[in-house]
């Protein structure tokens, strides 16, 4: 039977190993985000991702057994970041659309995340793409959430007369995606000429809502 000292030592070693494994997993995810953004899912190589983080191909497979599993983890990682910040804003009393504008502002500081989302969203329109279902469900959920909030605001008299709630919900989602693409292309321009995603989103919301304060 081991001594108490040996047991504590073993536990400490296990914790260090677990922490090291989590750190390496995070490093792989960050490398995958960059590579998926650069060349898309089909163009990405697990061997190259492994090389970028300094491990062997079998070492990467220990963390993510397939490329599809890595893609799923990348998408979950992105959503976890976005939803955590978004929910925090809501919990602090911000309106949904104000929180949405703030989310867009944060994404302007995370170019690799924007690149991987826009690239994969376009690539995944093919029904045999491993992320097809994820994006189809995400668009349905996001559009539905926009519609529900606009309907609520319309019931409170905060949506401008003549605004079609269904069309506006779809337009909002399309606007955010389109702004991300234009923003990426504008990064080579002088700073004063670059697309300001948050400002353009806020401007559209002011066209739809009677109360500009709802959009921040």
What distance in Å separates the CA atoms of residue 10 and residue 12, rounded to the nearest whole number?
A: 5
Query: What is the pLDDT, as a whole number, of residue 79?
Result: 86
pLDDT digits (tens, 9 = 90+) for 103-144: 999 999 999 889 999 999 999 999 999 999 999 999 999 999
How far apart CA 21 and CA 168 sit, in angstroms, is: 45
Mean pLDDT of the chain: 90
The phi, psi pair for 113, rounded to 5°, reads -70, -40
HSE of 36, CA atoms in CB hemisphere, 13 A:
30
**Cα Rg for the chain, rounded, in angstroms?**
21
Q: Give the percent of the chain with pLDDT over 90.
A: 79
Cα separation, 43 vs 60, in Å, equals 17
**What percent of the residues of the chain are helix, what percent strand, and what percent coil, each to the nearest 5?**
80, 0, 20
SS3 assignment, position 15? helix
Residue 126's φ and ψ, nearest 5 degrees, are -65, 130
Residue 211 pLDDT grade (very low, low, confident, very high; cuts 50, 70, 90): confident
| pLDDT value, residue 8 | 52
Confidence band, pLDDT 50/70/90 cuts, at residue 19: confident
> In order of start, what are the domains of the chain with their CATH numbers?
4-215 (1.10.357.10)
Largest CA distance in the chain: 78
Q: What is the pLDDT of residues 68-98, one digit of tens each?
A: 999 999 998 888 888 888 999 999 999 999 9
User: In this model, does residue 213 exceed pLDDT 90?
Assistant: no
pTM of structure:
0.81
CB atoms within 10 A of CB 120: 22
CA distances from 52 to 27, 48, 68, 146, 205 (A): 9, 6, 19, 39, 42
């Amino acid at each position: 039977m081991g001594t108490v000292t040996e047991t504590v030592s073993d536990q400490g070693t296990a914790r260090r190993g677990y922490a090291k494994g989590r750190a390496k997993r995070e490093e792989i995810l960050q490398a995958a985000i960059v590579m998926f953004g650069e060349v898309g899912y089909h163009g990405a190589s697990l061997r190259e991702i492994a090389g970028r983080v300094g491990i062997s191909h079998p070492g990467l497979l220990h963390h993510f057994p397939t490329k599809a599993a890595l893609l799923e983890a990348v998408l979950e990682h992105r959503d976890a970041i976005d939803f955590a910040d978004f929910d925090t804003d809501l919990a602090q009393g911000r309106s949904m659309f104000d929180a949405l504008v703030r989310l867009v502002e944060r994404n302007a500081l995370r170019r690799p995340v924007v690149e991987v989302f826009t690239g994969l969203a376009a690539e995944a329109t093919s029904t045999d793409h491993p992320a097809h279902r994820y994006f189809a469900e995400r668009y349905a959920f996001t559009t539905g959430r926009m519609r529900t909030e606009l309907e609520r605001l319309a019931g409170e008299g905060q949506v401008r007369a003549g605004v079609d709630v269904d069309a506006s919900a779809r337009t909002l989602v399309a606007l955010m995606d389109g702004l991300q693409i234009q923003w990426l292309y504008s990064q080579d321009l002088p700073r004063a000429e670059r697309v300001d995603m948050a400002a353009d989103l806020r401007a559209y919301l002011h066209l739809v809502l009677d109360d500009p304060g709802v959009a921040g």
